[in-house]
Amino acid sequence: MTTSVIAVSGLRKAYGGKVVLDGIDFDVAAGSVFSMLGPNGAGKTTTVNVLTTLLKADAGTVRVAGHDVATQTREVRSVIGVTGQFAAVDELLTGRENLRLMADLMRVRSAGQVVARLLERFDLAESAQKLVSAYSGGMRRKLDLAMTLVGSPQIIFLDEPTTGLDPRSRRTMWEIVRELVADGTTIFLTTQYLEEADQLADRIAVLDQGRLVAQGTPEELKRLVPGTHVRLRFAGLNDLGAAARVLAGSTRDDQELTLRVPGDGRPKSLRALLDRLDEHTINAEEFSVHTPELDDVFLALTGHASTEEITP
């Protein structure tokens, strides 16, 4: 049986008159990765801030490791680690000094060893004596996460840990998250990227304008979304009609003059598709491959695009 280490029910938060979290409920199982997926302004950071004792909720209950975040802040703080959206590192200290600062504040025994091990593990040993102001974005994020790990927290909150990172640093982050989970740590992760949630999460909750619009495993969610498809655009209705007859399983949109053809997006099947059009001398104006993205999840779940910025 799995036990939940984070239990949230009826969580509400408003700033001024603006509702940011409109009654959300979810549970996170011990030792799992729970990902909250949503666009900018959906309320992800607000959720993290409430769960990590930085912000008081207006209503609802939140228990982290069995402790109420509103009344047992000390107990909650002693079991969590948080890596926020913006690297919370001290730029005027070296990497080693940053870690040492954490170790001293948490009264970690044999701090020197703990720090050395983390520097090694995060590939920061060589830059340990350099000031953080000279670090690259990826190195800062790594140091930030290393600082979070100093006290070996049971539950780690990662707020958009890879936003703004290059693909290589992103993969490194993913590796680290997987290692943490393998050690039994529970991870609460927010992200704007479906791919990231897909790669890491055991469960995903989709947050939109302060409400959870879907929850489930990555597979369950992807079933809700149109799969990979090719979109063709034609000059006129005649071509569109002809193509729709030739390409089985396609969906036409007469207003946009587009045809959506399901497929896996591999070069081979794309070539076959184009060959079919050629055979029937049908000319497409535009051709594009679409893989399921957060936008599609949003469109499917909420009926509006994720890119519609919601001002916080």
Partner 1 sequence: MSAISASLTDSRVMLRRNFRHILRNPVTVFNGALMPVVIMLMFVYVLGNAFSVGERYIQYATPGLILLAITYGLPGTAVSVNSDMTKGIINRFKVMNVSRGAVLNGHVTATVLGNSIAIAAIIGMAFVLGFRSSANPLDWLGAIGIIAATSFAGAWLTVALGMAAKTPESAGMSVVPLLLLPFLSSAIVPAAKMGPGVRQFAQYQPFTPIIESVRGLLAGAPSGGYAAAALGWCAGIALVGYLWSRATFSRRA
Binding site for partner 1 (CB under 8 A): 52-54, 74, 77-78, 80, 82, 84, 86-93, 97, 101-102, 104-107, 131, 147, 151
Q: Which of 288, 289, 306 is nearest to 297 (CA)?
A: 306
**Least separation in angstroms between CB 39 and partner 1:** 22
**Cβ distance to partner 1 smaller for residue 90 or 202:** 90
**Cβ distance to partner 1 smaller for residue 74 or 168:** 74
**Least separation in angstroms between CB 91 and partner 1:** 7
Instruction: Tell me how far the alpha carbon of residue 205 is from its chain's centroid.
Output: 10
**Least separation in angstroms between CB 115 and partner 1:** 14
**Least separation in angstroms between CB 132 and partner 1:** 11
Rounded CA-CA distance 52/84 in Å is: 11
**Least separation in angstroms between CB 40 and partner 1:** 18
**Cβ distance to partner 1 smaller for residue 43 or 84:** 84
**Cβ distance to partner 1 smaller for residue 114 or 300:** 114
**Cβ distance to partner 1 smaller for residue 132 or 204:** 132
Instruction: Give the start-end residues of each E strand in 46-149.
Output: 59-64, 67-68, 80-83
Rounded CA-CA distance 144/123 in Å is: 13
**Least separation in angstroms between CB 151 and partner 1:** 8
Strands in 258-262's sheet, in edge-to-edge order, are 251-253, 258-262, 229-234, 284-290
Residue 286, both tokens? 């535009």
**Least separation in angstroms between CB 144 and partner 1:** 8
**Least separation in angstroms between CB 289 and partner 1:** 39
**Least separation in angstroms between CB 85 and partner 1:** 8
Rounded CA-CA distance 100/116 in Å is: 10
Whether the CB-CB separation of 212 and 206 falls below 8 Å is answered with yes
Residue 212, both tokens? 């959870």
Rounded CA-CA distance 35/204 in Å is: 5
**Cβ distance to partner 1 smaller for residue 186 or 306:** 186
SS3 state of residue 31:
coil
Which region, left, alpha or beta, applies to residue 86 given φ > 0 means left and ψ of -120 to 50 means alpha? beta
Rounded CA-CA distance 85/8 in Å is: 22
**Cβ distance to partner 1 smaller for residue 93 or 224:** 93
**Cβ distance to partner 1 smaller for residue 89 or 232:** 89
Q: Which of 87, 91, 211 is nearest to 161 (CA)?
A: 87
**Cβ distance to partner 1 smaller for residue 88 or 246:** 88
Task: Provide CB contacts within 8 A for 10, sequence distance 6+.
Answer: 23, 24, 25, 59, 60, 61
